[in-house]
């Protein structure tokens, strides 16, 4: 029996024997029920100390998966839904990053689909993020719906999510998930493509799962995320929706965060497919593909908290999202990116370890002024808040500095 703290994190800190992933890494949860008291589920390790993500990726290379047969399935799915009358036949959510470029481009130009790309706006676009977004559309040649939620409300909820959950990215995550299915229903497009299967990140999803419906309402993939409750009774930013209403906000203010009626999903037969089920999904290769097809540009300087320049570039809050994850779980940006590269054979486990120890948990100062202005908070207030979210079994103070108790 694994001993855990009150939020579900294993008290004994372990790292994957193959890729260095920490066992504190949470799997996806239902954000509508996310509060400070939520009990997390974490990535599973097998009896050999290997994480679920490594075991998932192994199947991509050991012959378990017949990639020719998988691509045949994709061709048949596209043949079933393809329209040649000018109507959209699939939706590809994205920001113009490497993954959405790959998904939209290959569907349109190789499989002859007519995708509608959709974008839930970042909190605050970075210059390089906006440039890549425009290149995606102009050089890739795509129609796009860009939705920007009411900034006044979005800022307020982001502040609440930071104070209550140390999760400044939560409003974006909620909105992004609800937006795709709402447009699919509005335009009668039953086919939505996402990128890689969540099993690569250690989520409890089999390599045989290709769509949301097949996850059978696992946490984070619910077709009815409200679980039968009224919208007023669930949480956004760790705060009950009814509390926002009591403070003067209206349902119109919050409607963009409200999920679609699940009956409408069934009625219109909408499903969400992982393109990574059909095609091998390798982040580094997606980057080179995006550079070639839409002139995707990496950061001109190293991204804070990691050693790369090409992932999660579009939002000025990105760095604080990864920093907050490091505070809560000992799982930062360098770890996220290096474990993927180790699994795909691009770097060794020892190289990954060195990169994690050098860059993970680096404070993201590049956009700190914009971030603190956005959430109406001072830097010292945020750092004091961070300390309240450090789990006792993960952190200790040495020479007045916070350090992880069990370093990699």
CATH for the 67-278 domain, from 1.25.10, 3.30.450, 3.40.50, 3.30.300: 3.40.50
d(CA 215, CA 250): 33
**pLDDT (0 to 100) of residue 195:** 86
317 Cα distance to chain centroid: 13
**pLDDT (0 to 100) of residue 312:** 82
- Distance set, CA 389 to CA 7, 167, 172 (Å): 11, 11, 21
Contact of 117 with 142, CB cutoff 8 Å: yes
Greatest pairwise CA separation for the chain in angstroms: 68
- pTM, to two decimals: 0.93
Nearest partner of 220 among 207, 193, 233, 201, judged by Cα: 201
Digitized pLDDT (tens) for each residue of the chain, 408 residues in all: 889 999 999 999 999 999 999 999 998 889 999 999 999 999 999 999 999 999 999 998 998 999 999 999 999 999 999 999 999 999 999 999 999 999 999 999 999 999 999 999 999 999 999 999 999 999 999 999 999 999 999 999 999 999 999 999 999 999 998 999 999 999 999 999 998 776 655 555 566 666 666 665 554 556 789 999 999 999 999 999 999 999 999 999 999 999 999 999 999 999 899 999 999 988 889 999 999 999 999 988 899 999 998 888 899 999 999 999 999 999 999 999 999 999 999 999 999 999 999 999 999 999 999 999 999 999 999 999 999 999 999 999 999 999 999 888
Nearest partner of 9 among 335, 375, 381, 395, judged by Cα: 395
**pLDDT (0 to 100) of residue 241:** 98
């Amino acid at each position: 029996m694994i001993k855990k703290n009150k939020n579900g994190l294993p008290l004994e800190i372990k790292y994957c024997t193959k890729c260095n992933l920490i066992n504190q890494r949470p799997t996806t949860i239902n954000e509508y029920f996310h509060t400070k008291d939520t009990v997390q589920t974490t990535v599973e390790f097998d009896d050999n100390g290997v994480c679920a993500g490594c075991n998932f990726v192994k199947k991509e290379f050991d012959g378990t998966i017949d990639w020719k047969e998988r691509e045949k399935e994709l061709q048949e799915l596209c043949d079933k839904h393809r329209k040649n009358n000018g109507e959209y036949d699939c939706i590809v959510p994205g920001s113009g990053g490497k993954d959405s470029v790959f998904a939209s481009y290959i569907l349109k130009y190789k499989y002859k689909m007519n995708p509608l790309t959709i974008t839930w706006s970042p909190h605050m676009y970075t210059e390089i993020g906006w440039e890549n977004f425009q290149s995606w559309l102009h050089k890739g040649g795509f129609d796009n719906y860009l939705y920007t939620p009411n900034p006044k409300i979005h800022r307020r909820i982001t502040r609440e999510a930071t104070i209550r959950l140390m999760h400044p990215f939560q409003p974006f995550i909620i909105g992004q998930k609800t937006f795709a299915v709402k447009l699919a229903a509005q335009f009668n497009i039953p086919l939505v493509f996402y990128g890689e299967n969540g099993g690569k990140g250690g989520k409890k999803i089999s390599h045989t799962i290709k769509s949301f419906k097949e996850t059978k309402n696992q946490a984070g993939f619910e077709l009815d995320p409200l679980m039968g409750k009224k919208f007023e009774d669930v949480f956004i930013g760790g705060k009950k929706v009814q509390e926002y209403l009591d403070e003067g906000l209206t349902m119109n203010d919050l409607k963009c965060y409200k999920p679609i009626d699940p009956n409408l999903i069934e009625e219109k037969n909408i499903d969400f497919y992982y393109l990574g089920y059909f095609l091998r999904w390798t982040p580094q290769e997606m980057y080179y593909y995006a550079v070639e097809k839409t002139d995707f540009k990496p950061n001109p300087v190293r991204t804070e908290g990691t050693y790369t320049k090409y992932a999660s570039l579009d939002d000025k809050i990105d760095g604080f999202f990864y920093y907050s994850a490091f505070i809560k779980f000992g799982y930062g940006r360098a770890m996220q990116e290096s474990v993927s590269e180790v699994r795909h054979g691009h770097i060794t486990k020892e190289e990954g370890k060195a990169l994690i120890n050098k860059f993970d948990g680096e404070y993201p100062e590049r956009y700190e002024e914009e971030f603190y202005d956005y959430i109406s908070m001072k830097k010292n207030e945020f750092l004091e808040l961070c300390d309240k979210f450090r789990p006792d079994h993960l952190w200790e103070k040495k020479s007045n500095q916070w350090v992880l108790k069990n370093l990699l």
